[in-house]
Structure 1
Amino acid sequence: MTISQSPSAPLVVVVGATGNQGGSVVKALAESDREYRIRGLTRDVTKPAARQLAASGVEMISIALTVDNGEAAREVFQGADVVFVVTNYWEHLDVNREFAEAKMLVDAAKAAGVGLFIWSGLESIVKVSKGKYPNVHHFNGKGEVTEYARLSGIPFINVQSGWYATNFAKLDGMKPKRVADETYVLALPVGPQTLLPVIDTANDYGLFVREAIESPAFGAGSEILTSGEDITVGEMVSQLAQITGKKIAYARINDEDFMSATGLPSSVALEVLESLKYHEECGCMLFMPPMLNATYVMPLDYAGKDSGPSRVHLARPTRTWADFVRSTDWSFVLA
C-alpha cells in the first residue's frame, strides 16, 4: 500500500532512512495494511535513494544529527507517534561520539513528547563477557545507549540488530577464499558450531520494527531480537556450497591470521575478532529439563536469550540464510 499523507495517520520518523536498517523500516511500513505517514531523515536529500523515497511519499528532511544539533532534532521529532533511531559507529569509529549523539536523540525525542522510541541496539559484550572482550565498541556503545534510554523514562523498545548476512559476501575476512581450482575455504577464528543470528537486513530488519509498532505482544519496555535464522557457521558453509555448486570447506584459523585477512586496521580487526569469539562462547547454553536425566545444548543467541519469540508476530516470513544465498550474486566472491 502507498505511504499515507493523511494527517490522521500515525507519524513515524525514521533516522537513516536511506541506510540498510532505516530503509528496511520504511519498506516494512509501506507493506503494511495500516496507514503511516513517514518522515525520513538523512544528510543528503539529493542522493538517488532519498529521491526515490520522496517519490514514494516519504517526507524527506536533510539534517545532521550531531551532538550540537539537538534543537533541530527535537523539531523534526515534533508530532511523531514513533521514532526509529539507528547510529552508525562504522562511519567514524568513535564510541564516545556514538553515545553522545544517541543520547542527544533520546533527549530530543523525550522533549518532543514522542509516543514510542524504537532503538537499534546491541548487547554490551564487555559486560556479558565479564570484561573478557572489552574491544567490541560497536556493541558496547549501543549497550550503554540502551541503558540510558531505559532510565530516561521515554517509552522505549530495543530492537536488536542481528548479524548481517551480507558480511559473508562483502567483508574480506569473511568471504570464502579460493585455495585451488574450484575449491574454496571460509576461514574464521571460531569453531563450526558457533551460532549466529543471521539476517538479510535490508529485506527483513524493518519487519521487526513494524512488529514492535503493531503487535500487542510487545510494548514500551520490551526487547525484540532480530534474525532471519539462528544458524551455525558450519551449516552456513554447507548450505553455501550446496546452493552455489562450489566446493567450499570451513576451517578454523588462529586469531592473528584472521585479523590479517580482514585487511582492516588492527583496532577494527580486533573488534571483529572479539565479536566472533563472543558469539562462539555466549551463543548457546546448557539446559537440563526437569525430570530428565540428560543435558541438552539449547540454541540461544543474544547472550543466552531466545530469539524465537521475536519472530512469532512478524507480518511475513524472514529470509533464511539459504534464501539469502539464492538471492545473492556470488560470482564476484566465488570467481
Structure 2
Amino acid sequence: MSKIITVFGATGHQGGSVIRTILNDPELSKEFKIRGITRDASKPEAQALAKQGVEITTADMNSKDSLRQALQGSHSVFLVTTPAWGTAGSDAELVHGKNVADVAQESGVEHLIFSSLLHVTETSAGRLTHVPHFDHKAEVEAYIRSLGVPATFVLPGYFMTNYTMIGLLRKGENGVWTLAYPVGQDAKFPLIDISADMGKYVSASLKNRSGTLGTQLLGAEDYYTPTRILEEFEQVTGHKTQFVQVDPDTYKSFIPGPMGQEMLENHLFIESPGYFNGKSLQEAKDLVGKAGYELTSWREFLERNRGLFV
C-alpha cells in the first residue's frame, strides 16, 4: 500500500515542483500517494492535479483541527509557509509553521520536509533585523527541531524567476537591459529554478530519509555574481546589459512600504555574510545527483525563457 505524502502549497512554485517531481519519478510515484493542500480546490491548477491522481484538499493553517484532517494518515509532509508580504509585524508565517509542526508531531508523521531559510538577524549579528520572511522560517525550523519531529530542511536559494516574474532585469529605451542592486558586482547569488528544481531536493531527501534527517539541504545550482548573471544573459539573448549599484535609499524607493526595507536588507545579507553564510552547495548537489536528477543552470533557464526577454 502506498504511503501518503501531504504537500502544502500544491499549486504554488514549491509545492507544485514537489508534486511534479514525485509523479514523474518511477520509484517515488509507486511508493507515495500524493495529497495536495491548497487554499482553493476549485481553481484550474488544483483540478488539473486531481486529474493526475493527486488527492486535493484544503486546510486552514490557523486551525489545528483543520490541519489534523489534512495530515491524517500521512507518512511524509512537505511544508512551505507563505510570507505576509508588506504587513509589518505579522507573525502569521510563524504561527502557521508551528501549527503544522505540532500536528505533525501529534499525528506521528515520519518525515517532515520544511522549506526553511537562515535567520538573518542572528546570522548578521543583529546588523539586519527586517527580513521576517527569512527569520520566521528559521524560527519554525528551530521549533520543529525542539519537538523532535523527524525532519529535513531544504533551504531554497534566490529564485531565477525573480528575473522574469518581477522584472529585476529591465529593458531601457536604448535597448540595454539593466540590473540594479544595492550590492556590488561580486555579491554571490545562489540561483535556483524553483519550479523545476525544488522538488528534486525534496525527492532526493525522500529517497535518502535516514541520511538527511536533521540536515539542511542548500538549494541552488551555483553561486552567481551580477557580472556572471549578465554575461550569460548577453550570451544567450544577444542583448546588451549594464549593472548599476544603487544606494540603499534609492533602492528602497523602488518598493513602497515596509517591503522596501525588507528587500533592501535581504540583498545586503546576500552580500555579507552571504545568503547561505558562505557555505558550499556541493553536498546537496551530490545528493540530488545520486538520486538521479539534474539541476537547472542559469544559462539553461535563460534558454528556456528566451522569449520573455524581447
Which bracket does the TM-score occupy, shorter chain normalised?
Answer: over 0.9
Residue deviations 1:115-172, cap 9 Å, x none?
A: 1111100000000000100001100111111111101111011111111111112224
Q: 2:243 aligns with which of 236, 239, 250?
A: 250
State the one-letter code of the partner of 2:43. Answer: K
Whole-Å separation in 1 of the counterparts to 2:247 and 2:86: 28
C-alpha contact 1:12 1:83 (8 A) present in aligned 2: yes
Q: Deviations over 1:286-306 (max 9, x none)?
A: xxxxxxxxxxxxxxx511221
* Structure number, greater radius of gyration: 1
**TM-score normalised by the chain length of structure 2:** 0.93
2:140 is matched with which residue? Answer: 145
Is the CA contact (8 Å cut-off) linking 2:84 and 2:92 kept in structure 1?
Answer: no
Partner of 2:39: 43
User: Where does residue 290 of structure 1 map in the other structure?
Assistant: none
Q: Can you give the 5+ residue segments of structure 1 that lack an aligned partner in the other structure?
A: 1-7, 284-300
SS of corresponding position for 2:195: helix
SS of 1:154's partner is: coil
Residue of structure 1 aligned with 2:279, choices 305, 322, 325:
305
CA deviation profile, 1:198-235 (whole Å, cap 9, x unmatched): 11101111100001110267332111110122211210
Task: Tell me which residue corresponds to 1:328.
Answer: 305
Alignment-mate amino acid for residue 52 of structure 2: S
1:59 equivalent in structure 2: 55
C-alpha distance in 2 between matches for 1:13 and 1:269: 34
Q: Out of 199, 218, 242, which is 1:206 matched to?
A: 199
On the 8 A contact 2:111/2:209 being kept in 1, the answer is no
Matches of 1:253 and 1:91, distance apart in 2: 23
Structure 1 stretches of at least 4 aligned residues deviating more than 4 Å after TM superposition: none
> What is the number of residues matched between the two proteins?
303
Match of 2:178 among 177, 182, 185: 185
Out of 98, 104, 110, the position equivalent to 2:99 is 104
**How far apart are the structure 2 equivalents of 1:31 and 1:144?**
33
The offset of 1:240, in angstroms, is: 0.8
SS at 1:46 equivalent: coil
Contact 1:41 1:62 in 2 (8 A): yes
Most deviating of 219-228 and 22-31: 219-228
Shift of residue 279 of structure 1?
Answer: 0.8
Shift of 1:278: 0.7
Amino acid at match of 1:265: P
Please, which runs of 5 or more residues in structure 2 have no aligned partner? none
Q: Which has the higher helix share?
A: 2
Code of the residue aligned with 2:76 in structure 1: it is V
CA RMSD of aligned residues (A): 1.6
In the TM superposition, residue 236 of structure 1 has moved relative to its aligned partner by 0.3
The alignment partner of 1:218 has SS state of helix
What TM-score, normalized by structure 1, do the two folds share?
Answer: 0.86
Q: What is the identity percentage for the equivalent residue pairs of Structure 1 and Structure 2?
A: 28
